[in-house]
Amino acid sequence: MENKKISLKDGFFKQNIVFMSGLLIAPVIACATTLGKSLAMCLVFSLVSFLTILLCRVIPRKIAYTLRVIIYSLVASAIYIPSVLLTTTVMGGDVIASAGVYLPILVTNSLILSKSESRFYVESFGDMVPDVLCFIAGFDAACIFTGAVREILAKGTIGGAYLDMPFTIPALETTFGGFLFVGIMAGFARGLYNHHKAKLLRAVADEEDELAEYAEDMGEFLTGKKNSEPDKIRIYKPSKKKKDDAPTNILDMDFSDNRSLVEEFAAIVAGGAELSPDESGGDENWSVEESEDMSGEDEGSQESAENKEDNEE
Amino acid sequence: MTAFMNVLMASIIAIFVQNSIFERALGINVLLYASRKREHLLGFFAAITYTTTISSAIIWIFDGLFAENEYYSIFMPILYVAVVSVLYILTLVLIWRFFPKLFRNIRKYVHLSVFNCSVIGALFLCSVQGADIFTYIGYGFGTGIGFLLAAYLLYIAADRLNSPLVPAAFRGFPIMLVYVGILSLALYAFTGYTTSAV
Query: How remote is the C-alpha of A263 from its chain's centroid?
Result: 26
CB contact under 8 A, B120 and A190: no
- Quote the pTM value: 0.76
Residue-wise pLDDT for A176-197, tens only, equals 999 999 999 999 999 999 898 8
Q: Which of A9, A7, A2 is nearest to A307 (CA)?
A: A2
Q: Is the Cβ–Cβ distance between A175 and A102 less than 8 Å?
A: no
CA distance B1 to chain A (A): 32
Q: If you average pLDDT over residues A152-167, what whole number do you get?
A: 89
Residue-wise pLDDT for A29-63, tens only, equals 999 999 999 999 999 999 999 999 999 999 998 88
CB contact under 8 A, B78 and A30: no
For residue B140, what are the contacts with CB-CB under 8 A and spacing of at least 6? Answer: B14, B52, B53, B54, B55, B56, B57, B122, B123, B126
Q: Which of A176, A194, A195 to probe by mutation at the B interface, max B CB count within 10 Å?
A: A176
CB contact under 8 A, B177 and A183: yes
What are the mean pLDDT values of chain B's consecutive 10-residue runs (198 residues total)?
Answer: 85 88 88 84 90 93 88 90 94 92 85 88 86 89 92 90 88 92 87 56
Task: Name the residue facing B197 among A21, A73, A170 (closest C-beta).
Answer: A170
- 3-state secondary structure at position A235: strand
Q: Is the ipTM of this complex over 0.85?
A: yes
CB contact under 8 A, A65 and B111: yes
State the burial class of residue B24 (Cβ atoms within 10 Å of its Cβ: 0-12, 13-18, 19+): buried
Question: Which DSSP letter does residue A232 get?
Answer: G
Work out the number of other CB atoms within 10 angstroms of the CB of residue B32: 20
Strand A250-252, strand A161-162: pairing: unpaired
Task: Name the residue facing B117 among A70, A76, A105 (closest C-beta).
Answer: A105
Can you tell me the distance from the alpha carbon of A246 to that of A52, in angstroms, rounded to the nearest whole number?
Answer: 52
Tell me which chain B residue has its CA closest to the CA of residue A192. B169
Q: Which of A71, A78, A48, A6 is nearest to A139 (CA)?
A: A48
Tell me which chain B residue has its CA closest to the CA of residue A21. B173
CA distance A5 to chain B (A): 25
A residues 192..211 contacting B (CB < 8 A) = 194
Q: Is the Cβ–Cβ distance between A35 and A162 less than 8 Å?
A: no
What amino acid occupies position A126? G
Residue A264 is predicted with a pLDDT of 63
A residues 147..176 contacting B (CB < 8 A) = 168, 170-171, 174-176
- 3-state secondary structure at position A287: strand
Q: Is the Cβ–Cβ distance between A175 and B25 less than 8 Å?
A: yes
- 3-state secondary structure at position A277: strand
CA distances from A201 to A137, A183, A206, A207, A273 (A): 27, 27, 9, 10, 35
CB contact under 8 A, A70 and B115: yes
Residue B188 is predicted with a pLDDT of 82
Q: Which of B47, B18, B2 is nearest to B190 (CA)?
A: B18
Q: Which of B136, B123, B146 is nearest to B15 (CA)?
A: B146
CA distance B9 to chain A (A): 22
CB contact under 8 A, A187 and B196: no
- Give φ, ψ of A289 to 5 degrees: -100, 115
* Contact residues, chain A, for B89 at CB < 8 Å: 67, 70
Q: What is the mean pLDDT of chain A?
A: 76
Question: Which DSSP letter does residue A256 get?
Answer: T
CB contact under 8 A, A29 and B28: yes
CB contact under 8 A, A178 and B181: yes
CA distance B172 to chain A (A): 9
